[in-house]
């Protein structure tokens, strides 16, 4: 990261601000006018040339204004940007909505995605908390008729999975109830492998139910890859840089392909704080013109999920980072509540 004089920092900041606001290359004259710089356009021009040599800005063509490079944005984020939080009233509204949505895992994941999309005016992505969805807390067999039952598994963290089971032998509701109570106690705390082992040591109906549970847990593990929530595609379409051209379609295709999408957020988060990948810094070819702002959330016991947004490089990073951080924190709180602390 190059070292800059104060005046250069000031000018770089102004260029990026302006470009974020207008999506147009920024001219020396416009900078002087709009930011009341006590300098002449010529002086600003020479500073701009220096910043360009340092790799922080570019030129679309000879006689156009300046545009930030990935490195320029990076510098901006690291050392020029104020650390902002959401407005108190926004915070209040959002956390209020979250409190109302505790009830249902799927519901609050969807809420998180739509809230984030609205707050940032970008596309938002949320993955469910992993780990939480693969350990059994309780199982129940609900009779449908004498040869069929609905198996309902409550997982650590409150997620619920269900599966129909055709029973080998006719069974009364009472039998089923007793049996599922015993199995629920036996299987509590199991993951898929443990449940499968247990199923082998049982026989008859009990074995059938236990292996049904094992299958559900296994599916729950496998489903993690497909289970991704997104919202705010319209916000991407509203960006002038994505207005036309086939690029948008590829981006949307990526967002709609949950299997690929699930791989987008997780990598490369070390610390606990929000992470930013600018332009070419992310590995996904269709997103080379985009930036990602993402973080992880989760409880004390290490069940973590990811939450983030995708938008143009030219993005209000201060606000985006603030929003992702805030929503991530709210989600962590909720996970902790569900974990029972």
Partner DNA sequence: CTTGGCACTCTCAGCGGGAGAGTGCTAATT
Partner DNA sequence: AATTAGCACTCTCCCGCTGAGAGTGCCAAG
Binding residues for DNA (CB under 7 A): 25-30, 38-43, 45-46, 48-49, 52, 59, 61-66
Q: In whole angstroms, how close is the CB of 101 to a second copy at the nearest point?
A: 10
Binding status of residue 148 toward a second copy by CB under 8 A: yes
Q: What's the min distance (Å) between Cβ of 65 and DNA?
A: 4
CB of 7 to DNA, least distance (A): 7
Q: Which partner from the list a second copy, DNA, none does 33 bind, CB cut-off 5 to 8 Å by kind?
A: none
* Closer residue to DNA (CB): 29 or 225: 29
* Size of residue set near a second copy by CB under 8 A: 43
Q: Give the nearer residue to DNA in terms of CB position, either 58 or 91.
A: 58
Single residue of 234, 268, 283, 300 touching a second copy by CB under 8 A: 234
Closer to a second copy by Cβ: residue 102 or 169: 102
**Are the C-beta atoms of residues 130 and 105 closer than 8 Å to each other?**
no
Neighbours of 148 (CB within 10 A): 12
Taking a C-beta distance cutoff of 8 angstroms, is the pair 78, 84 a contact?
no
Q: Is 252 near a second copy (CB under 8 A)? A: yes
| Degrees, nearest 5: CA angle 138-139-144 | 150
Judge whether 229 and 164 are in contact, CB under 8 Å.
Answer: no
How far, in Å, CA of 115 to CA of 95, rounded?
10
Task: Annotate each residue in 105-144 with x if it binds a second copy (CB under 8 A) or - if it does not, as one string.
Answer: xxx-----------------------------xx-x-x-x
Question: Which has the closest alpha carbon to 338: 128, 113, 102?
Answer: 102
| CA pair distance 42, 40, nearest whole angstrom | 5
Q: CA-CA distance, 281 to 277, in Å (whole number)? A: 5
In the list 49, 77, 81, 160, the residue contacting a second copy (rule: CB under 8 A) is 160
The verdict on 158 binding a second copy (CB under 8 A) reads: yes
Report residue 223 as tokens: 């489903």
Token pair for 325: 């951080």
Choose the one of a second copy, DNA, none that binds residue 249, judging by a C-beta under 5 to 8 angstroms depending on kind. a second copy
Three-state DSSP class for residue 257: coil
> What's the min distance (Å) between Cβ of 78 and a second copy?
33
Verify binding: residue 223, a second copy, rule CB under 8 A: yes
Phi, psi of 322 (to 5 degrees): -60, -45
Interaction between residue 103 and a second copy (CB under 8 A): yes
């Amino acid at each position: 990261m190059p070292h800059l004089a104060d005046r250069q920092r000031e000018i770089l900041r102004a260029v990026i601000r302006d470009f974020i606001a207008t999506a147009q290359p920024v001219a020396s004259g416009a900078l002087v006018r709009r930011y009341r710089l006590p300098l002449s356009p010529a002086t600003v021009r020479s500073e701009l040339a220096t910043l360009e040599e340092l790799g922080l800005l570019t030129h679309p063509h000879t006689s156009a204004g300046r545009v930030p490079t990935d490195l320029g944005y990076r510098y901006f984020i690291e050392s020029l940007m104020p650390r902002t939080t959401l407005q108190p009233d926004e915070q209040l509204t959002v956390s209020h909505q979250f409190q109302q949505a505790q009830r249902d895992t799927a519901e609050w994941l969807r809420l998180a995605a739509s809230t984030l999309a609205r707050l940032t005016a970008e596309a938002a992505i949320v993955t469910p908390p992993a780990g939480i969805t693969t350990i059994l807390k309780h199982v129940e067999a609900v009779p449908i008729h004498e040869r069929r039952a609905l198996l309902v598994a409550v997982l650590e963290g409150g997620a619920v999975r269900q599966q129909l089971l055709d029973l080998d032998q006719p069974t009364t509701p009472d039998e089923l109830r007793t049996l599922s109570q015993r199995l629920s106690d036996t299987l509590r705390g199991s993951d898929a492998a443990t449940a499968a082992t247990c199923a082998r040591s049982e026989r008859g109906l009990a074995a059938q139910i236990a292996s049904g549970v094992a299958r559900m847990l296994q599916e729950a593990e496998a489903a993690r890859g497909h289970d991704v929530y997104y919202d705010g595609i319209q916000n991407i379409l509203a960006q002038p840089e994505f207005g036309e051209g086939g690029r948008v379609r590829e981006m949307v295709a990526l967002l709609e392909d949950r299997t690929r999408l699930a791989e987008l957020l997780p990598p490369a988060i070390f610390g606990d704080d929000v992470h930013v990948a600018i332009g070419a810094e992310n590995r996904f070819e269709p997103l080379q013109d985009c930036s990602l702002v993402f973080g992880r959330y989760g409880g004390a016991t290490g069940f973590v999920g990811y939450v983030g947004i995708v938008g143009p490089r030219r993005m209000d990073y201060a606000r985006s980072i603030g929003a992702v951080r805030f929503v991530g924190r709210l989600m962590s709180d909720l996970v902790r509540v569900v974990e029972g602390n």
